[in-house]
Chain A
Amino acid sequence: MKKPFAITLDVGSSLANKTGSWRTERPMYVDRLPPCNASCPSGENIQRWLFLAEEGDYEGAWREIMVNNPLPAIMGRVCYHPCEGGCNRAQLDHPVGIHAVERFLGDEAIRRGWRVEVGSPPTGKRVLIVGAGPSGLSCAYHLARMGHGVTILEAGPMAGGMMRFAIPKYRLPREIVDAEIQRIVEMGVEIRLNQKVTDLEATRREGGYDAVFLAVGAHIAKRAYLPAGDATKILDALSLLREAERGEQVLLGRRVLIYGGGNTALDAARSAKRLGAAETIVVYRRTRERMPAHDEEVREALDEGVMFRWLTTIKGEQGGSFQVEKMALDGEGRPQPTGEFDTIEADALVLALGQDVDLSFLGSVPGLAVEDGVVRVGRDMMTGCRGVFAGGDMVPAERTVTVAVGHGKKAARNIDAFLSDTTYTAPEKHELATFDRINTWYYADAPRTMQVTLERARRESTFEEVVQGLEESNALFEARRCLSCGNCFECDNCFGVCPDNAISKLGRHNRYGINYDYCKGCGLCAAECPCGAIRMEPEST
């Protein structure tokens, strides 16, 4: 068409006008550290695997978990999920039920027989791991993926450590433990059972191992001196749990006292209930608030009828009657005796006062240092002895399966570096994705009906294992509750709200690009990003 001069123009020709020159600030896509990830002792990229699960890509999500944690089905059951404690969604309604989704994914993997391939060619290096608990298994798994040869020597008759002998079945079915361990074995990890290491140096030398990871746990029950007669049964919690695990008949009587305030005390109390005790009373010297056991466990124990005697110490026993003293908290919250005494009738007392590490086999290891009954390790998890690393309950840390798994991963990375004469440097952590960076407008409340279902599922998932975990629809729902804090979840908001069409979609999972030729730096994309994944930065020139 012969167009009139100037008054008629070609469509879209304003592309010649590069409005990017107006900009004083430029938007930048960032990945911030979601609080769930930040608080996961195993270092899982929770946001990322939830992102995949949201799409129904359960295998992808599971594989994302497996990058950091080889035991999702176990972890989904027994982890005390500090991730959920950090979850920003808690400030909207309830935290995302991360553990429940993880359990669903872990179970799905077992059901479908998903496997992990060894990702690297064999290095020819051999690593000895002592102890087939969560820490040892985790370390073995990661080392195997890196191509190293791994041998685990386990003193006990079965692999799993505390996962098998301390955590009751109602929390963790044994076929789950078996399945997840089997998957590691199938990667080429050798587990030798009933192989108690008595002299580490000798074993290491004889096996020709290039490095060692110690993960024997802490399974020697602490005892307290209690003057007592013979009529009453006194046993430690680990023994109780171990006997229950072996299916042995444990005769506790009608009324059982549990002495202690940790998770093991509660496991023992709840197990005692299941073993037939009509009344189970947890005796603890401080208050509920100061109890080291996780609140959830306390709540569930209460639900099951476990009773508690707070601010109480046991002084001794005579003729089936326990003398107890009332305690009071001092200004610093420490329990102090009050001189007020009382008695409690009981048929048995279970001591749950903590566990010590069996250090007997470490006598000849040069340089290895022990402090407060645990092995000292550096930030690289290496003990004072070169090439000997340690983790799990035998090093100073919170004693949970999750921490142990995290230790295993961390140790594996450092061992890998050690084997190649380098140093492992953890990648720098992103800035934390705090709640104030979330644009909550964009997140919907979950419909009530679904929430009710979910609540039940949540309860069930952490209660009796006879009840199923999340159904797929629930798991999907739960995953989709994730706010994706600090990490783009491809909502298209930036793409949509840019008045200058300066943002382009790069395709599924490739996020977005910014065309700085046209971006005027208004900041709408950053302001309207639901999850805080865009940062405005001053232009340098």
Chain B
Amino acid sequence: MFRQLEGSQAIAETVAMCRPEVICAYPITPQTHIVEGLATLVKNGTLSPCEYINVESEFAAMSVAIGASAAGARAYTATASQGILFMAEAVYNASGLGLPIVMTVGNRAIGAPINIWNDHTDSMSMRDAGWIQLYAETNQEAADLHILAFRLAEEISLPVMVCVDGFILTHAFERVDMPTQEQIDSYLPPYAPRQLLDVDEPVTIGAMVGPEAYTEVRYLAHHRQMDALELIPRLSAEFRETFGRDSGGLLHTYRTEDAETVVVSLGSVNGTIKDVIDEFRDEGVRIGAISICSFRPFPMESLRVALAGVRRVVTVEKSLAIGLGGNVAPEVREALAGMGISVATIIAGLGGRAITRSSLRGVFRDAVEERLPPLTFLDLDLDLVHRQLERERADRRSGPAAESMLKDLGAVASRVG
């Protein structure tokens, strides 16, 4: 049933229909509307039985989820930004213990400087934490991926992170085809844990493992993610059968047939990119786009297939690997190794800066015309940066860079955020 509703609300209602048994959450912008929505659904009895725990930190949130999952309950939480860093230790622990927790990340920048707006720095910081990471392109997919996530997590006993761009998706009102409870129930069987804290069949979970077996434990975790590369397309196909639409999968291609140039991105920015692609296509430029849904496991083979015959790839990334460049580009390069395809990186949308079609058009044209440098910061205010660098050269104690730059912009710190 199509409904016009906020992304967070669509996620909340969909998650609720997945019948999570324990929900724990600590509020952080822009995740709040999701957990508020769920709180209401639990309080008003729509979602029952379910224990909703208001924890005192994100660290506790993930920890409660760990306990709940290990004790056999379907566990869900949501966070963003600083929150995921604060729970980082538990994030690693959940995957290490193989607990199929599903967590929504309302993607947001990381401080300092503190910033509440969207980018992917937060989830990128956890890309190697052993979780499966799925990035949603639209509110429809954001909602749908949660159904897939629970199914996937429980099938392979790994936690899944559903990454949803903060504000852009979480706070945007869109038309969403909401699944029915019957559809979800037919797609998502009750949780049957691989291991369980059971008084009738006690086990010790969370042993200390030394050098003699740690590598093997890690290898097995990797192996399971590799299995997920097979499983995700299969579950997505099943999803289409049940729900009648495409959601999830390892990646989405857009007009990549005969493309010379392909733009690779994660999440909602692909919507803007597709608009620009259409414009270029109208001009006859052979350009397409790929949106990676499953960043972990990383779909190497699928990318190779999808990009076979392409001349160049441009990644549009909402996170910066400081001191290197992009997070996505190096992985794409590794996937395409030996195929003779150049990969350039565009860092865009950091801290919520708008990614406009015109800006994208400019850099894509540069790419098509072989003028794009390997690393580009989209819409970087070079004058501002240069002035600051000048000051720093003149006086090593020039004060906080961000504040100085804000002064240059004429903005007052207190009015921002």
Contacts and interface: CB of A to CB of B under 8 A. Distances in A.
A226 to B, nearest CB: 93
B205 A8 contact: yes
A1 interface: yes
Given A1-B201, A4-B157, A9 B207 contact: yes
A3 B207 contact: no
Given A1-B195, A1-B196, A6 B203 contact: no
B217 interface: yes
A225 interface: no
Contacts of B206: 7-8
Interface string B187-202: 0000000111000011
B207 A8 contact: yes
Nearest to A2: B194
B217 A5 contact: yes
Nearest to A7: B207
Contact of A4 (B194, B201, B214): B194
Contacts of A7: 96-98, 205-207, 209, 217
B195 A3 contact: yes
Given A4-B98, A7-B217, 20 more contacts: A1-B203, A2-B194, A3-B195, A4-B195, A4-B220, A5-B220, A6-B209, A6-B216, A6-B217, A7-B97, A7-B98, A7-B206, A7-B207, A8-B205, A9-B203, A9-B207, A10-B203, A10-B204, A11-B203, A11-B204
Do most interface residues of chain B lie in helix, strand or loop, or is the interface mixed? loop
A290 B96 CA distance: 85
Interface string A1-28: 1111111111100000000000000000
Contacts of B194: 1-4
Contacts of B220: 4-5
Contacts of B157: 4
A463 B373 CA distance: 117
A8 B195 contact: yes
A8 B196 CA distance: 10
Contacts of A9: 203-204, 207
Contacts of B207: 6-9
Interface string B82-118: 0000000000000011100000000000000000000
Contacts of B203: 1, 3, 8-11
Interface of A: 1-11
Given A1-B195, A1-B196, A6 B201 contact: no
What class of interface size applies to chain B in its complex with A? 20 to 34
A5 B194 CA distance: 12
Nearest to B205: A8
Lowest 4 A-B CB distances belong to which pairs? A9-B204, A6-B213, A6-B209, A11-B202
A254 B285 CA distance: 148
Nearest to A11: B202
Interface in B197-236: 201-207, 209, 213-214, 216-217, 220
Contacts of B217: 5-7
Interface in B162-185: none
A10 B205 CA distance: 9
23 contacts: A1-B194, A1-B195, A1-B201, A3-B194, A3-B203, A4-B97, A4-B220, A5-B213, A5-B217, A5-B220, A6-B209, A6-B213, A6-B214, A6-B216, A6-B217, A7-B96, A7-B97, A7-B98, A8-B204, A8-B206, A9-B203, A10-B203, A11-B203
A259 B204 CA distance: 85
A346 B272 CA distance: 136
Contacts of A3: 194-195, 203
B55 to A, nearest CB: 24
A1 to B, nearest CB: 6
Contacts of A5: 213, 216-217, 220
A10 B204 CA distance: 6
Contacts of A11: 202-204
Nearest to B70: A8
A6 to B, nearest CB: 5
Nearest to A13: B204
Interface in B1-53: none
Nearest to B201: A1
B129 to A, nearest CB: 16
A8 B217 CA distance: 11
Nearest to A4: B98
A9 B208 CA distance: 10
Interface in B218-256: 220
A58 B223 CA distance: 73
A1 B200 CA distance: 12
